[in-house]
Structure 1
Amino acid sequence: MSILSKISTAADERTARLAGIGLMLGGVCFFSFGDAIGKFLVSTYSVGELLLLRAATSLILMTPLIWRSRGAFALIRRPVLQVLRVVLSISEIAAFFAASVYLPLADIITFYLAAPIFVAVLSAILLDEQVDLRRWVAVGVGFCGVLIALHPSAGVFGWPSAIALGGSIAFAVMMVVTRSLRGTPDVLLASMQFFGTFLFGIVTLPFGWLTPSPRDLGFFMLAGGLAVFASLCVNRSLKLAPASVVVPYQYSMIVWAAIFGYLVFADVPSMATIIGAAVIIGAGLYIFLRERALGREETVVNPPA
């Protein structure tokens, strides 16, 4: 290969990596914007109604992609795990928005940032993966960060925090299940998630339907559109650049959660949340880099979708 070819290849790779980083940052921002809209809506409407209308919009927007990949639906493998993943997805997203009625976005996102820490433990238990001493130490440090963020001594810990923490654990279990389904096309995984939340919304209709105003219906549709667009950005990012390059930028979700929380709801993260988030991010990044060094499947921390 000539010197000019090498320079051109290196430039193309650098451009792809920068594009991947930009798409990851954009995708996380869109996810966070959608979360803020969801938090705004569940102050008036039920979580089930939010999931129904949000998922309906997402499925409509994804119709061309679903149609193009329709052959994959006829070859669904490991259906039990597929259904389990959908149930976990419904559980974690419902918990996320249920907790958002009472907690600032930054607090909830902090719990979800702990997902890689939970994954490390669950992988050792469920997938029989070997976890060395250094990663167990990182797991312990990460759990300390979770306890700091919970700050039970301040009298804040209660059902909302428990719901958010439970949602983050369901999210982690879903990530472990996804590892076992890594051969499944992204469009199939995403569409099944949205279809599952759509069905959940239909089931909950009799328990809290409130006809939305035209303005709020627009917000519901915007939330669904952002979920699809953000997912596409994140997936494209992971195709343009190595996960080891772009995944750390997913932790910017805590920054966006704090920004949207302050601008929309006047929420100011507590010092305990900030310190806990910093500890969790540090431990999560160490676990991620350690798994990469060992050549294991890299854990991708997509925000709740």
Structure 2
Amino acid sequence: MPSSRGILFKVIALFLFSIMASLVKASAPHVPSYQAVFFRSFFAMPIILIWLAQRHDLRTGLKTQNPFGHLWRGLIGTSAMVMGFSALGILPLPEVTAIGFAAPLFTVILAALLLGETIRIFRLTALAIGLIGVAIIIAPRLTVFELGGIESIMLIGALLALGSAFLRALAVVHVRRLVKTEETAAIVFYFSLTATCASLATIPLGWVWPEPREFVFLISAGLVGGVAQIFLTTGYRYAQASTLAPFDYLSMLFALIIGYFIFAEVPTVATLAGASIVIFAGIMIIYRERKLGLERGKARPTVTPQG
């Protein structure tokens, strides 16, 4: 059953991305986020290259008609990862994950503004509901205006997570343009290459020498991220994007489990309530887009929860 196989691959990919996020989070107190992006991208590249070679897509992965398009997609995705990794160092994993669910909502807005897609009352309603959910998640952090101190840092973390979601949505819209001339293999490869080079350019900002345990965490994050990307992309070969999209929200379950047992993070009522509302809105949008038969399957496989 191809669809069942696609669902299995998608779920495995989401679990691996959650593991990757936890590895980055574990190193965040000492290693800057832009340095973590280098490890995430550089050590994923061998995995991706081997995968492309086995699929006989290596030549396709290196061929492009739109190099500047790949550059912009890479820079947008890299910025999203930097902001997302920074948020992981400040906020609990479930909260960062919940705020990240705003990305599909931003995608609807950006697709209307940049691609001219029509948004009718059903999706407008879902969008409004979803944004209310995001506001509920972030609202407790707004006490910065009363307390300051640690609360101001937490607010910055929430804004970084929200900014990451926005940039990931922008990357999705950009990929929808890229797939008109570019193969999925090329988009996957050049994103990793651009992210590696862009993160290397941050050396003047100040890198640190990771401790042995942090080296293991960061290298593992790259390897796990590369494998997760392969499972994600392969999953879309066996099932339609509209079939797999609802399973994105399993990330919240994985984040709750990892956050509780690894980082001793107990989610707040606001996080759980807001996440539930955002997930409901996201499912409404997925249902509507599936009904409308929007052809977006080629764009989704190249976008991960980290950019």
> Does TM-score exceed 0.5, indicating one fold?
yes
* 1:251 aligned residue: 249
Structure number, greater radius of gyration:
1
Following superposition, the deviation at residue 84 of structure 1 comes to 1.5
Inter-partner Cα distance in structure 2 for 1:138 and 1:216? 41
* 2:187 aligned residue: 189
Inter-partner Cα distance in structure 1 for 2:208 and 2:156? 25
Residue from 93, 101, 124 that aligns with 1:105: 93
- Map residues 25-104 of structure 1 onto 2, 5 A cutoff: 25-66=11-52, 68-72=56-60, 75-104=63-92
- Map residues 146-157 of structure 1 onto 2, 5 A cutoff: 146-152=134-140, 154-155=143-144
Following superposition, the deviation at residue 62 of structure 1 comes to 2.3
SS of the residue 1:292 aligns to = helix
| Per-residue deviation, residues 256-303 of structure 1 (Å, max 9, x unmatched) | 111111122111111111111111111111111111111212474732
TM-score normalized with structure 2 length: 0.88
Following superposition, the deviation at residue 73 of structure 1 comes to 5.5
SS of the residue 2:201 aligns to = helix
Residue from 100, 117, 129 that aligns with 1:129: 117
Taking structure 1 as reference, are residues 197 and 75 closer, same or farther at Cα in structure 2, changes over 3 Å only? closer
Following superposition, the deviation at residue 70 of structure 1 comes to 4.2
Structure 1 alignment gaps of length 5 or more: 1-14
Residue from 235, 238, 244 that aligns with 1:237: 235
Inter-partner Cα distance in structure 1 for 2:282 and 2:109? 12
Q: Is the 8 A contact 1:291 1:298 kept in 2?
A: no
Q: Is the 8 A contact 1:66 1:188 kept in 2?
A: no
- Map residues 208-223 of structure 1 onto 2, 5 A cutoff: 208-223=206-221
Given residue 275 of structure 1, which amino acid in structure 2 is its aligned partner?
A
TM-score normalized with structure 1 length: 0.89
Residue from 130, 140, 159 that aligns with 1:142: 130
Following superposition, the deviation at residue 74 of structure 1 comes to 5.9
Q: Is the 8 A contact 1:28 1:252 kept in 2?
A: yes
Following superposition, the deviation at residue 121 of structure 1 comes to 1.0
| Per-residue deviation, residues 223-257 of structure 1 (Å, max 9, x unmatched) | 11111111111111111122222221111001111
Following superposition, the deviation at residue 82 of structure 1 comes to 2.0
Q: Is the 8 A contact 2:70 2:191 kept in 1?
A: no
Inter-partner Cα distance in structure 1 for 2:63 and 2:46? 22
SS of the residue 1:102 aligns to = coil
Structure 2 alignment gaps of length 5 or more: 145-150
Given residue 236 of structure 1, which amino acid in structure 2 is its aligned partner?
T
* 1:175 aligned residue: 172
**Deviation larger for 176-185 or 95-104:** 176-185
Aligned length: 291
Following superposition, the deviation at residue 141 of structure 1 comes to 0.6
Given residue 206 of structure 2, which amino acid in structure 1 is its aligned partner?
G
Following superposition, the deviation at residue 171 of structure 1 comes to 0.6
| Per-residue deviation, residues 160-213 of structure 1 (Å, max 9, x unmatched) | 111111111001011111111224222221222222221122122233322233
Q: Is the 8 A contact 1:119 1:172 kept in 2?
A: yes
